Amino acid sequence: MSSYDPLYDPEKDVHFGVPSLQQAIDRARKVLDEKAAANIHDQDEMIRAAYGLHYVLHDLLAALDAEGGER
């Protein structure tokens, strides 16, 4: 057992549905715009930014894989 909780645990975290590629791109751009103003000196804001960006990147890669026929 690790001394921390990982951001993503494939045994507990299930990815529900894959967005279309355009939806994933739009969402990634929106979250990037939102997180761009985060205060780098505020630990809570950085955690929220990392969490949000992790999930949009996960969706974007899933959509790219689906578009390419890999899943």
* pLDDT tens, position by position, 21-66: 999 999 999 999 999 999 999 999 999 999 999 989 999 999 999 9
Q: Which domain holds residue 30?
A: 25-67
The answer to whether the beta carbons of residues 41 and 63 sit under 8 Å apart is no
- Neighbouring CB atoms inside 10 A of 21's CB total 17
Is 48 a member of any domain? yes
pLDDT at residue 14 in the model: 65
Q: What percentage of the chain reaches a pLDDT higher than 70?
A: 86
In a domain, 31, yes or no: yes
Task: Tell me the three state secondary structure of residue 16.
Answer: coil
Phi, psi (degrees; rounded to nearest 5) at 69 = 80, 20
**6 in a structural domain:** no
Range 1-7 average pLDDT: 71
Whether 58 maps to a domain, the answer reads yes
